[in-house]
Amino acid sequence: MAEIFQFDFMIRAFIAGIAVAVIAPLIGLFLVVRRYSLMSDTLAHISLLGVTIGFLTNISPLLMAVLLASCSAFGMEKLRSHKKFSGDAILSLFLSGSLALAVIMISFIRGLNVNLLSFLFGSISTVSVNDLYFIVSLCLLVLATITGFYKELFLVSLDEELAAANGIKIKTFNLTLIILAAISVSLSIKIVGALLIGALMTIPVMTAIQFRCSFRETLLLSILFSLLSVVSGLFLSYYLGWASGGTIVIVALLIFLLSLVAEKIR
């Protein structure tokens, strides 16, 4: 048991994993209740483009991912507020657009960089000390923002029109939420990978919703399930030699299936 923590990279992986495990479902719940779950996948593909640009320009890939995803989040929210296009069409536009650009840019990088693959599927062994500082401080920022504006974010997610009638600045809070989502997604890609981050933001939330609790309890439960998935997923991936991202998501899925069975029995 102690053997796993003899490696610095595993300790870093656990700390980063736990930080991401807390914020992913926190943002995820707000996206799921607004039927905006696909947002995380779109942001993940945009982050991937950011990572690619980072490699090409020699600027921190993680920083580029956060910046690009946040800027795109702003663009998507602007387009959505014009009400010319539906939300899912805008997501699809950004998802395929960023992936297309990423694919072209990847071909500029000579040979297929191993590091780049690690962003696609997640690779815990590549979390550097600098990455760790970056991830933990931004996770704290996300946590503080959600806690500070919890009642406003709840109301805007419940009903935008009611929120506006109460004088809540819905544009500001929608933008806040989507930028927090962009940050969370970009930070999570080292742990679970761009292709699987959507799962970490939605599966623990879906599990928690099964228990038919209040919004606040659903939030706490989904964080609990996410932590359980990430921590046990990291252990399993270390001892079995499986890919970390895939293992974490499979554990999250198993917990979801168990909750389905538990609900049936109840």
Partner 1 sequence: MPIESHPNCIAVENVSFAYNKHSVLEDISFYVKSGEYLGIIGPNGGGKTTLVKILLGLYKPRSGTVTIFGQAIKNSGQRALIGYVPQRVSQNISTFPATVEEIVKSGRTARIGLLKRFSQNDKTAVEKAMETADVARFKTHLIGELSGGEQQRAYIARALAGEPKILVLDEPSVGVDIAAQEKFYTLIENLNKTHGLTIIFVSHDVDVIAHEVRCLLCLNKNLVYHGQPKKFIKDEYLEKLYGKKVKFILHGH
Cβ neighbours, 10 Å, residue 260: 12
Pick 5 or 215: Cβ nearer partner 1: 215
Tell me how far apart the alpha carbons of residues 200 and 244 are, in angstroms, rounded to a whole number. 12
Q: What tokens appear for 199 in the block?
A: 């799962």
Residue 78 touches partner 1, criterion: CB under 8 A: no
Stretch that binds partner 1, among 18-26, 56-64, 145-153, 250-258 (CB under 8 A): 145-153
In whole angstroms, the minimum distance from the beta carbon of 83 to partner 1 comes to 12
CB 137 → partner 1: shortest distance, Å? 21
Nearest to 181 by CA among 28, 5, 34: 28
CB atoms < 10 A from the CB of 216, how many? 10
**Binders of partner 1 among 13-42, rule CB under 8 A?**
29, 33-35
What angle do the packed helices 61-82 and 170-188 form, to 10 degrees? 150
Closest distance to partner 1 from the beta carbon of 178 (Å): 18
* Residue 82 binds partner 1, judged by CB under 8 A: no
Closer residue to partner 1 (CB): 220 or 231: 220
- What is residue 98's three-state secondary structure? helix
- Contact with partner 1 (CB under 8 A): which of 58, 107, 110, 161? 161
Q: Which residue has the tokens 């945009």?
A: 46
Of 197, 189, 263, the residue nearest 226 (C-alpha) = 197
209 binds partner 1 (CB under 8 A): yes
149 binds partner 1, rule: CB under 8 A:
yes
Helices marked H in 36-60: 38-57
Tokens 């009638």 found at: 165
Q: Is 231 in the site for partner 1 (CB under 8 A)?
A: no
Token reading at 107: 């071909």
Size of the site for partner 1 (CB under 8 A): 28
Using the rule CB under 8 A, give the single segment among 43-51, 73-81, 159-167, 253-261 that binds partner 1: 159-167
User: Where on the chain is the footprint of partner 1 (CB under 8 A)?
Assistant: 29, 33-35, 148-149, 151-152, 154-155, 158-159, 161-168, 208-209, 212-216, 218
